[in-house]
Each structure stands twice: as structure tokens, then as C-alpha cells.
Structure 1
Amino acid sequence: MTSSMMFRTLLFCAVAGVGCALGCRWMEHKYPQFRDSSLGLLKAMREEKLKFMGQLLDEIVALFEEDQTSAPWQETVMDDFLNIISQQADGLRACVSSQNLKRKSKKLSMYFKRLSTLLEQTSHSTQAWEWIRTEVKVHLQRADLLVPAKTN
């Protein structure tokens, strides 16, 4: 082995050793900070999903509390549906910090306002209520995808 090759090998080992030492110090001091920050953000992402779902359920309840005289379903079925949706919303609120509940999605509120306006414009007709029912069903199915069976 020539002295030039030996020098390069020693230089490489020295640089690699310094890099490992720096990496270890970073792991000891900085890694825990970044780990804690990323876990906190993941928790916040979960809370945002749960908050959105809670608002969705609240908007559904408000929509279905409108005049249902032309709705094609029995009143007792509607009462049971609203009771279950309300219980789900209450349960979701228990999983979200109270300060996070104050901010609501304006887009979601506006969407449900448009659905309410549609009902009003059609005099709460049977067809409009049936369309609303199918829309809400799709939204509940999509919302179910937001929360896995186990929400760690």
C-alpha cells in the first residue's frame, strides 16, 4: 500500500469517525426534540380528523332537524338516527381538546348551509329529502375512513 493510499484511508476513517461522533451527539440531544415534535403533530392531525367528524355529525343533526313533514321516513326512525348521530358527536368531542373544538371548518358549514337552502327552495320535498339522505350516507361512509379501528 502506498503512502498516498494509506493517507487517504486514514483521512476517510478520521472523517467517518467525526461524522459518527456528531451523529451520536445529535441522537442524544436533537433526536428526542424532533421525535417529540413529530409525535405531537401526529396527535394534532388525529384531533383535526376527529374535530372535523364531530362538526360533520353536528351539521347532519342540524340539517335533519328541519321541517320533515314531506320526508319519506317514519318519525321514530328519524329520532333514532338523530339520537345515534348525537351520541357519536358527543363521543368524538370527548376525544378532542376543548380549545380545538372552537375552530370550525367554514367550508363544511357552507356546504350544509347550501343543503339547507336546497331543502327550503324545494319546500322540503320528498325528493329533496331523499337526495339529502343519500348525500349524508356517502359523507358518513367517507368519514368512517378517517378514523381507523384503533386510533393511536
Structure 2
Amino acid sequence: MFTRILLVCLSLSLYSSGSSLSCRWMDHKFRQHSKNSLDLIETMAHNSTNTTEHAEVNFPNDLYSQASKASAEDKLSFTVHILEEMAALFEEDHSNASWEESTVDHFLILVTQQADGLHSCITSHGHKKKNKKLHMYFKRLSRHVLEQMGHSAESWELIRKQMKTHLTRADQLVSSLLTN
């Protein structure tokens, strides 16, 4: 409960200051948040059992390929959607995972801050339609990996590996927009 309250407070503070952030957030904060979230998800591996079953999880490379050819604003929208779906996935029951709760909480805060910060850089704050294929991919992860494997430590390790790949690909997508 405390985590959710903290996430709401952080989200509200970012949204309320969004107009002053403009894309300064992306230029000044994105890289650090991205590095920290990748470090945390790697730390979670060191705390896991690493005895994963091999479930079939197809990574949506085609969606990233399409996004890489999209406009800057669409790249940001796609990345925000990934981060929001990721945060929702990690809100599921992860009590069987061997991760420390504080690590997961910190990871969720960073991912939410990234999503909110990138969202502040999108000029058309209208309700753009979410990518249905991406949403279905995350839904399959929830149903076919987590639920069917009973939210086991092994299922969470599969999810962690997928999310690490997402974070890396999202970092590459947004980094292509950053000024050096």
C-alpha cells in the first residue's frame, strides 16, 4: 500500500511540473533513470534462484522495428506504453520471487518516473491510442507465464529477463532522440 501511495505522489509531482520539464527531463534525467532501472533489474537476477523453466515467450521485435522508424513523438509514446505495462506487470503477486521487496519498490518507482518524465516530453498530450499488440504481449506474459506457472520464482525470472531486454531496447529507442 505504501508503494502505491508513493508512486501516486511521485506521478502527481511529475505531472504537475511537466510543463516546466519540457524535454529537459529527457536530456538530463533519462539516461540516469534508465541506467538505474537496468542496474536494479540486474540486481534482482543476483537475488533470484536462476533455475528457470523454458517457457515460450516471443519478444515483440517487430514492434520495436516499427517504433524505430516512427516519429520522435511516437517513439516516446511507445516507450511510455512499455514502461506503464512493465509497472503494471510488476504490481502482480511477486511474493514467490526471491527479490527483496525494497528492490522491487525502488524499481517500480524508477520505471514510473521514467514513464512520467517521458510523457512530459510528448507535446500532444491527447489520449493517443495504445499499441494493442504491445498490450496483448504483456497480457500474454501475465496469463501464460505468471498465472500458468503459479507466479513462481521461475516465472518471475523469465519475466525479469524479458523486462531487462525491454529496458535495453527502450533505452536504445529513446537514446536515438537525445542530443549528445
After superposition, the C-alpha distances for 1:34-81 in whole angstroms (9 at most, x for unaligned) are xxxxxxxxxx70000000000000000000000011012000000000
Q: Is the 8 A contact 2:146 2:152 kept in 1?
A: yes
- Pick closer, same or farther for the CA change 1:105–1:129 going to 2, 3 Å: same
Q: Is the 8 A contact 2:87 2:111 kept in 1?
A: yes
Match of 1:98, SS? coil
RMSD after superposition? 1.5
The letter of the residue matching 2:83 is L
Q: Is the 8 A contact 2:79 2:174 kept in 1?
A: no
Q: Is the 8 A contact 1:63 1:112 kept in 2?
A: yes
Runs of 4+, deviation exceeding 2 Å = 148-152
Q: Structure 1 stretches of 5 or more lacking a match? A: 1-43
TM-score, with length taken from structure 1: 0.67
2:173 corresponds to which residue?
146
1:16 corresponds to which residue?
none
1:122 corresponds to which residue?
149
Identity in percent: 52
**2:133 aligned with 1:107, yes or no?**
yes
2:3 corresponds to which residue?
none
Highest relative contact order (Cα 8 Å, sep 6+), 1 or 2?
2
Q: How many residues matched?
A: 108
TM-score, with length taken from structure 2: 0.57
The letter of the residue matching 2:164 is K
Q: Distance in 1 between matches of 2:176 and 2:137?
A: 28
Q: Is the 8 A contact 1:61 1:85 kept in 2?
A: yes
- Candidates 40, 45, 58, aligned match of 2:84: 58
